[in-house]
Amino acid sequence: PEGARDYLVPSRVHDGQFFALPQSPQLFKQLLMVAGYDRYYQITKCFRDEDLRADRQPEFTQIDIETSFLTEEDIRAMFQGMIKRVFKNTIGVDLGEFPIMTYQDAMHMYGSDKPDLRVKLQFTEVTDVMADVDFKVFSGAANMKGGRVVALRVPNGSVEGAGISRGEIDAYTEFVKIYGAKGLAYIRVNDLSKGRDGLQSPIVKNIHDTALNAVLERSGAQNGDLIFFGADKAKIVNDAIGALRIKIGHSEFGKKNGLFEDRWAPMWVVDFPMFEYDEESQRYTAVHHPFTAPKAGHEDWMVTAPEKCISQGYDMVLNGWEMGGGSVRIHRADVQQKVFDALKITPEEAQLKFGFLLDALQYGAPPHGGLAFGLDRIVTLMTKAESIRDVIAFPKTQRAQCLLTQAPSPVDEKQLRELHIKLRNPAATA
């Protein structure tokens, strides 16, 4: 149910049928709560067939927890205490306070649902003032449904001889293209006292004074600053300028200019939306997973306005990495049905995939919720390693291969016959 692809294992005994390696014990731990266990704790192996990156592997270890009769706040307090104790006892680090930020604020200020608070740069929202400027890149995005225009002020980015060079701006322009941005507009703030003449940029002539003043005022720009802009669909802007924020913050320039604070920066991100709209499949998908409970009073919006629905989901974030995530679960069959309706999962499909959970909910379930930590991620953070691969004994490559054992590899015809499998593209395995 976690949104990634399953690793499928063919059954030798049941012709044409498959097992799926567990992406998470989510449904089973919920069943234990229904059965009357009030606490569950397990260190478990999970498998997800998804694109790999620094904080992901196809096989990973999860610390999985579920509780009955605890509120979202109770669960967060319990496991914040646990993580603080683990860090203190293991590496002598006091993580201190965990600020709580809503998903909406995190996306608004940092373009990410797992912001790295060590980087002292924030977005400035300027969508509203760009709707009628002559610069089409900005006005187009400002008037587009779901469009966004943001500014990212880099203090001292234009200081003569010590700021960000033209070559570095070109490199950053190529960098944001990875995230779907078409380019990277910027303004150098040379002298505020000269008005628009004190601003250096090819785009200034196409932006009226009201918009320019709003950018400078809202961002708190000073002489010698550099302001980057993102203008496109909100997702592209958030991804591209969010990544740029991290890159500049962690750069030599960022560290020299006090844009990066070398500390432990834990936080909670809460109030995730229940659903996000997938343009490709033209339907809503679950942001966490389809068993996450909505906030009290939001149940009816699942039918009338799914986009307004806020969930009781929460993520623990440390230094820009999601360390653990969880939610209060749905414990009523009628609410669970509304979620499936919003996700366009038919009753037949729901029964086929999750029938054992839905049947259990019919008998009455206690309010319950939980959390899962990525053990490998915790160790990666503690050791300050570059990647999760550095703390796993036999990690897979970015292409999900094990170079040591040459897995995955072809198998012989006899094994395939035992599993009732015939390859459609045998040449590829030769």
Neighbours of 170 (CB within 10 A): 11
Nearest-angstrom CA–CA distance, 169 and 165: 6
How is residue 198 annotated by DSSP? Answer: G
pTM of the model: 0.91
How is residue 132 annotated by DSSP? Answer: T
Q: Are 203 and 187 in contact (CB under 8 A)?
A: yes
Nearest-angstrom CA–CA distance, 271 and 79: 18
Nearest-angstrom CA–CA distance, 264 and 116: 10
**pLDDT score at 429:** 52
User: What contacts 24+ positions apart, CB below 8 Å, involve 310-314?
Assistant: 310/271, 310/272, 310/273, 310/274, 311/271, 311/272, 311/273, 311/274, 311/287, 312/72, 312/369, 313/270, 313/271, 313/272, 313/287, 313/288, 314/72, 314/75, 314/76, 314/268, 314/269, 314/270, 314/272, 314/371
Distance between the two ends of the chain, CA-based, in angstroms? 34
Q: Which residues in 142-225 belong to E strands, given as ranges?
A: 147-154, 185-189, 199-200
- Chain-centroid distance of CA 236 in Å reads 14
Nearest-angstrom CA–CA distance, 40 and 393: 27
**pLDDT score at 1:** 44
Nearest-angstrom CA–CA distance, 51 and 400: 8
CA distances from 400 to 51, 331, 413 (A): 8, 37, 24
Residue that the structure tokens 């943001």 belong to: 150
In the chain, the percentage of residues whose pLDDT exceeds 70 is: 98
**pLDDT score at 278:** 81
Q: Are 221 and 193 in contact (CB under 8 A)?
A: no
Q: Give per-10-residue mean pLDDT for the chain (430 aa).
A: 78 93 91 94 93 82 95 96 97 97 98 97 97 96 96 95 93 97 96 94 95 96 97 97 98 96 98 88 86 91 89 97 95 90 89 88 92 96 94 91 92 92 73
Q: Are 66 and 30 in contact (CB under 8 A)?
A: yes
- Under 8 Å CB-to-CB from 352, ≥6 apart: which residues? none
Six token digits for residue 213: 């003043």
Which structural domains are found in the chain, ordered by start? 8-102+264-391 (3.30.930.10), 119-257 (3.30.1360.30)
Q: Are 83 and 317 in contact (CB under 8 A)?
A: no
How is residue 325 annotated by DSSP? Answer: E
- Chain-centroid distance of CA 173 in Å reads 23
pLDDT, tens digit (0-9, with 9 covering 90-100), for 350-396:
898 888 888 998 888 999 999 999 999 999 999 999 999 999 999 99
Q: Are 83 and 65 in contact (CB under 8 A)?
A: no
